[in-house]
């Protein structure tokens, strides 16, 4: 995941090497949340369930194998996505780069992990926009 320019100074100078170490040496190129492999196209159902051709099984969003899956309209729901791993901070603090605070997560797991932080930033952006509107344009109706 790209680092925003205003947060770039919070990351260490060797961040690309540290990120690669977490994603490929420790996690072996698989998401630590759900187990999806890096760089591969996976078939998924949009709700976290995905097909792993190496293991020949469907997996849920928490990395557990599914025993049964209903075949109703299965082909209509299946789509493919290329998996890209990113190193995520478990505590959302980019200055805390200890290995136990970093996790290799795919796009889906990373977005789920950062959901509350994204909500907070969205609220803050809208709050600032409204405050600027009040300041220069008068009150909103």
What residue ranges of the chain have pLDDT lower than 70? Answer: 1, 70-76, 133-141
- The count of domains in the chain is 1
The encoded tokens of residue 104 equal 């290799």
CA separation for the pair 70, 9 (Å, rounded): 49
Contacts (Cβ under 8 Å, ≥6 apart) of 84 = 38, 39, 106, 107
Q: Which domain holds residue 72?
A: 5-137
Cα 108 to Cα 106: distance, rounded to the nearest angstrom: 6
The pLDDT of residue 40: 92
Backbone angles phi, psi at 34, to 5 degrees: -125, -15
Q: Which two tokens mark 17? A: 């090497």
In this prediction, residue 21 carries a pLDDT of 95
d(CA 42, CA 2): 22
The reported pLDDT for the residue numbered 83 is 93
Tokens of 102: 């970093």
On whether the CB atoms of residues 105 and 29 are closer than 8 A, the answer is: no
Phi, psi of 125 (to 5 degrees): -60, -45
pLDDT score at 3: 79
Which tokens go with 117?
Answer: 């932080």
pLDDT attached to residue 9: 87
Beta bridge partners of 122: none
Question: Residue 70 has what pLDDT?
Answer: 65
Q: What's residue 58's pLDDT?
A: 85
For residue 138, the model assigns a pLDDT of: 63
Q: How far is Cα 37 from Cα 31, in angstroms, rounded to an integer?
A: 7
What pLDDT does 100 receive? 94
């Amino acid at each position: 995941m790209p680092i925003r320019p205003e947060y770039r100074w919070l990351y260490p100078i060797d961040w690309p090497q540290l990120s690669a170490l977490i994603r490929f040496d420790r996690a072996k190129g698989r998401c630590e949340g759900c187990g999806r492999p890096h760089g591969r196209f996976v078939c998924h159902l949009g709700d976290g369930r995905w097909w792993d051709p190496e293991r020949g099984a469907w997996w849920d969003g928490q990395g557990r194998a599914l025993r049964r899956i209903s075949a109703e309209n299965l082909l209509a729901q299946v789509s493919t996505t290329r998996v890209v791993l990113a190193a995520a901070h478990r505590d959302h603090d980019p200055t805390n780069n200890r290995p136990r605070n970093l996790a290799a997560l795919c796009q889906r797991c990373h977005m789920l992990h950062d959901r509350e932080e994204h909500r907070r930033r969205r609220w803050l952006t809208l709050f600032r926009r409204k405050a600027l509107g009040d300041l220069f344009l008068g009150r909103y109706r």
